[in-house]
Amino acid sequence: MSFSRRTLLGTTGAAAVGLGAAACGSGGALDPDVPLDLAVDDTDLAGSISLLTPDFVGDDRPVLDQEVIAPFTERTGIDVSVDQVDWNKLNEKISTGIAGGIIADLIMTGVGWTQPFAEKGIFAEIPADYIEGLGFDESVLAPARFEGKYYSLPQALDLRFLAYHPEMFAAKGITEPPTSMDELAEVALELTGDGVVGFDYLSGSAGSARQAFVFLLYAFGGTMFSEDGLSTKLHEEPGRLTLQWMLDRMDDGSIDYDMQAAEGQPSPFQQKKAAMSLVATGNWPTWMQMTPELCEEGAAGVFLMPSGVGGDPVMFQGGTFISVSSLSQNKDAAGAFMKHMLEPEFLGIANAATGKVPPTPDIPENEEIQSSLLTRFGLENLEYAGATEGGTAGYMQIRTNLDGIVEGCLTRRASVEETLADMKSLCDDAISRLR
């Protein structure tokens, strides 16, 4: 069953009641084209709301319940129920909920998810004046927009950049991280040998092949789609340069495609089998647990992905974004809880628990966040976090299939030209279904 903004606005009364039955209270079901009212006083809130989230698993869950939700409930009297689902089942959960007529009041999704669900009319518009008051950097707000309006906000970021072993640099007389893609290639080759790979970029320890491609695409000055999300761009010259750069590094041995990160084991970088590596801010807890010596002062260095076209360096941005369902029967309370989760105090508490990065450095001092080299570096460089997935309302039909296409090129089952053509065909087909 597929919804669009038009069909949702034209839903019959009986169907609308079913779709909005996830919770009840102040503020009825919301027209997707009408922004949320975020100025409702706490005394006017009533009832209960539900939150769907892929985060806060295991030991992180009590933090959500006791340190984030409990203060909100105490202040407003609103009960918040939580439905936790794995990331790999989140899309199915949301789609099933829409088709079955029951969907949470608040939904937490990933980068690249906002446009598809906003286009379907599932996410409510968030007022721009509220967002301006948050002071978030434009880099972390861009993935929250669809057709010039905001339908989600970043609650937790998963940022990716590069790390290196300083002693391996020193042994080769390398005094500074590379500042261009040519330099990165040269340094990676120089560091390769004696059982060490110069650059671990494709082992999967910090993302999929698709995400590795997207990161480099931005480094070479490219983008996945046009600004309006209706034209495919990733197959153009920056896409060719991206694929060829990875293949060239594999040919000279400085990237080893067969070097894979085994589940439950330290990554190649942690084992010092790689001199440099793609890393994610979420890797820090694993470093602390498995290789605490790597977390000591000066044990690892970090740097941004250099530009391949003489521009600014880039950082890859993943993470968790929060939206209010336009189908909520308690949109005022849902909006109030979204605001609560985005307050600096609770951004700090929640991200310290999940090992992710707040979308702003303006949070109270937090020892867990400040003790992470990776989180500190990410926060200091948010302005460069422009490398993101998505950008079209058709991306949910693209993302998983794109992995196989990239991997087909890296395993030499397809040429660069064939791969770019397959990418274009996949994306064009998904976009054509929007029209």
Please give the tally of structural domains in the chain: 2
At 312, give phi and psi (nearest 5°).
Answer: -75, 155
**Spatial CB neighbours of 153, under 8 Å, sequence gap ≥ 6:** 126, 131, 134, 136, 141, 144, 321, 322, 323, 338, 342, 359
Find where tokens 């721009």 sit: 128
User: CA torsion 19→25→29→35, rounded to 10°?
Assistant: -140
Domain limits at 34?
A: 5-157+317-375
- Confidence (pLDDT) at 102: 85
Look at residue 354 and tell me if it is in a domain.
yes
Tell me the pLDDT of the chain (435 aa) as tens digits: 344 443 443 332 333 333 333 444 555 555 556 679 999 999 999 999 999 999 999 999 999 999 999 999 999 999 999 999 999 999 999 999 888 878 999 999 999 999 999 999 999 999 999 999 999 999 999 999 999 999 999 999 999 999 999 999 999 999 999 999 999 999 999 999 999 999 999 998 888 999 999 999 999 999 999 999 999 999 999 999 999 999 999 999 999 999 987 788 899 999 999 999 999 999 999 999 999 999 999 999 999 999 999 999 999 999 999 999 998 999 999 999 999 999 999 999 999 999 999 999 999 999 999 999 999 999 999 999 999 999 999 999 999 899 999 999 999 999 999 999 999 999 999 999 986
In a domain, 233, yes or no: yes
Residues 130 and 39 in one domain: yes
Residue at 383 is within a domain: no
Residue 152 and residue 75 share a domain: yes
- Are residues 217 and 262 located together in one domain of the fold? yes
Look at the alpha carbons of 143, 146, 148, 153 in this order and tell me if their dihedral is positive or negative.
negative
Looking at the structure, tell me whether residues 151 and 239 fall in a common domain.
Answer: no
User: CA angle, 428 as apex, 126 and 11 as ends, to 5°?
Assistant: 45
Q: Are 370 and 75 in contact (CB under 8 A)?
A: no
Q: Tell me the β-bridge partners of 176.
A: none
Q: Are residues 178 and 124 in the same domain?
A: no
What is the pLDDT, as a whole number, of residue 31? 59
In a domain, 410, yes or no: yes
Q: Cβ(177)–Cβ(301) under 8 Å?
A: yes
**pLDDT value at residue 262:** 79
Based on the domain organization, do 84 and 24 belong to the same domain? yes
Beta bridge partners of 108: 322
- Is the separation of the CB atoms in 68 and 100 below 8 Å? no
Which pLDDT value is given to residue 17?
A: 30
Kindly state the tokens that stand for 97.
């909920």
For 124-271, where are the alpha helices, taking DSSP H only? 128-134, 138-141, 166-171, 181-190, 209-219, 237-252
CA angle 250, 405, 429 (to 5 degrees): 150
What DSSP designation does 89 have? Answer: H
Taken in order 212, 218, 219, 221, is the CA torsion positive or negative?
Answer: positive
Other residues' Cβ atoms within 10 Å of the Cβ of residue 173: 7
